[in-house]
């Protein structure tokens, strides 16, 4: 990737070349100034521009249930979008079970 080394953050003075070499911005405003470069790199490295954070190696059962719940909510929206109501019904039943488990732990 050819870097445009003339771009400089007006807030901290960091250049695009410095960000490329250091792999970190100098200030919060750098994210705005170098947004195109940062987006391209995130897509190359992570396959997505959206950062979801790291998942701890050891999670308790409640966290696993929460994670599964949100995954199923996404699957439910997708099934409804595709008008696959049979799958949506099954997913909704799974969501009910998870809600029951989570409320029992409170």
Under 8 Å between Cβ of 26 and 14: yes
- Closest of 33, 42, 39 to residue 13, by C-alpha: 33
> Out of 1-10, 31-40, 54-63, which region has the weakest mean confidence (pLDDT)?
54-63
More confident residue, 20 or 105: 20
Percentage of residues in the chain having pLDDT higher than 70:
76
pTM for the complete prediction? 0.45
Q: CA-CA distance, 34 to 26, in Å (whole number)?
A: 11
Model pLDDT, residue 43: 67
């Amino acid at each position: 990737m050819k870097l445009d080394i003339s771009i400089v953050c007006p807030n901290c003075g960091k250049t695009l070349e410095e960000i490329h070499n250091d792999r970190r911005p100098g200030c919060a405003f750098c994210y705005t100034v170098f947004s195109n470069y940062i987006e391209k790199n995130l897509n190359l490295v992570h396959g997505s521009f959206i950062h979801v954070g790291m998942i701890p190696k050891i999670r308790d059962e409640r966290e696993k249930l929460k994670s599964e719940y949100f995954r199923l909510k996404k699957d439910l929206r997708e099934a409804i979008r595709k008008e696959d109501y049979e799958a949506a019904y099954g997913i909704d039943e799974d969501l009910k079970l998870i809600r029951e488990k989570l409320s029992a732990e409170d």
